[in-house]
Amino acid sequence: MDPTLAGILGIAVMIALFMTRMPVAYVMTLTGFIGFSLLTSWKGGLNLLSRSFFEAFSSYSLSTIPLFILMGQLAFNSGISRRLYDTAYHFLGHVRGGLAMATVAACSAFGAVCGSSPATAATMATVAIPEMKRYGYANSLAAGSVASGGGLGMIMPPSVVLIVYGVLTEQSIGALFVSGILPALLLTALFIVAVAIQCALRPSLGPAGEGFSRAEKLRSLGGLVDTLLVFALVIGGMFFGWFTPTEAASIGVLGVLVLAVARRRLPWRAFVASLEETLRTSCMVLFLVAGATVFGKFLAVTRIPFNVAEWVAGFDLPAFGVMAVIIAIYFVGGCFMDALALIMLTIPIFFPVVQHLGYDPIWFGVIIVLVTQMGVITPPVGINVYVVFGMSQKLVPGMTLEAIFKGTIPFLLAIVAGIVLMFLFPQIVLFLPGLMY
């Protein structure tokens, strides 16, 4: 069989299996293994399968993933997210839409100790949605701000998606982490502007809450101490070259654990729950990495990545036009597939094109994370929307998926504005890595 035809059939089979709701990691592994074996040999396929899984689960670089996930779980179970929200509420709660603004700000801060989009959304949903409903916020704004703000965990370091991108493209994970700081802050500001515009046009969406004195605001800043300490320790340590990303992850876990124990906010049951959730999430991510590796090897044998790269590069378009096409493909793909799986499937195809066009790999990594971030709040996948919907069923009777998706639209426009700004001004992404290196 012609290798290219075999690759096209393999992709079609993979899409068909996705529709059966079979886990993505299993689909990629099965399709890649059978396709590779048919094109080479069954012995070669078995060798690829065993080697890919062994390398994924024994990789020193990928050991940062379970460590950062554990750091986020310990932070959540020790109450760091609630203290962050209280601080943001003290400063923003008195203005129209202030609770939604506070939610976005708290999501951004919690992303600095979590690194997972669904985890950030689930955490903030339990804290923020009941408070917003208590002050008469519309379902669309309350749930939409949580689902969209949770996406900030994908770009704010430490980001699991950026770690995987760095491993796949052999880029510095430290540089990728640092490059995500300014874009995350820019996106947070754009989200707050989106809330302000909505509430200016329709004040009933987010009525003003209670005000606080200057002294109360200053006292609430204590809720930021834990997050700032951990963030400064992890990112600052990498910035100044004190330790590698893997060492930074272990230092971050130790830092959160020491703070939680010192404040007596981490009972034994919560500690065990953190370990269990870390194990579950880490296995899912590592299975995805291994499965994507197997499928990527199959695609390499079919030469589809090289053919697609030549096809896209051959467009009679300037470099920014080709990049716009790639970004559009990522946006559409992100609507149908998990961001991590999409990036692992497509990086072997598009990364050579990006290098050929002369774009910075660090900049490209941040851009595609931002584009796929849109996928976590758009149908039909919209993982953050489903997470918030599931959490809100226990908290807010009458919450609907339609209301949440409707509430994410202004934030989608804010993400588009952020991508355009970073396209026009790449130094937003590259300034801090330039200082670091």
pLDDT band, very low/low/confident/very high, at 182 (cuts 50, 70, 90): very high
pLDDT band, very low/low/confident/very high, at 144 (cuts 50, 70, 90): very high
**pTM of structure:** 0.76
Distance from C-alpha of 33 to C-alpha of 79, rounded to nearest angstrom: 44
User: Burial of 197 by CB count in 10 Å (0-12 exposed, 13-18 middle, 19+ buried)?
Assistant: middle
Q: Where are the domains of the chain?
A: 62-436
pLDDT at 305 over 70: no
pLDDT value at residue 211: 76
Asked if residue 240 lies in contact with residue 248, where contact means CB atoms within 8 angstroms, the answer is no
pLDDT at 408 over 80: yes
pLDDT band, very low/low/confident/very high, at 337 (cuts 50, 70, 90): low
Residue-wise pLDDT for 275-285, tens only, equals: 988 888 788 77
Distance from C-alpha of 402 to C-alpha of 387, rounded to nearest angstrom: 14
**In which residue are the tokens 């993933």 written?**
65
pLDDT value at residue 243: 80
pLDDT at 394 over 90: no
Mean pLDDT of 401-417: 91
pLDDT value at residue 158: 76
pLDDT value at residue 329: 81
Asked if residue 24 lies in contact with residue 288, where contact means CB atoms within 8 angstroms, the answer is yes
Distance from C-alpha of 293 to C-alpha of 32, rounded to nearest angstrom: 9
CB neighbours of 236 closer than 8 A, spacing ≥ 6?
242
pLDDT at 196 over 90: yes
pLDDT value at residue 342: 76
pLDDT value at residue 199: 92
Position with higher pLDDT, 209 vs 257: 257
Please, what is the average pLDDT of the chain? 83
pLDDT value at residue 28: 81
Sign of CA dihedral 410, 411, 417, 423: negative
Mean pLDDT of 359-367: 92
Residue-wise pLDDT for 41-87, tens only, equals: 899 899 989 988 888 788 777 787 788 778 878 887 887 777 877 78
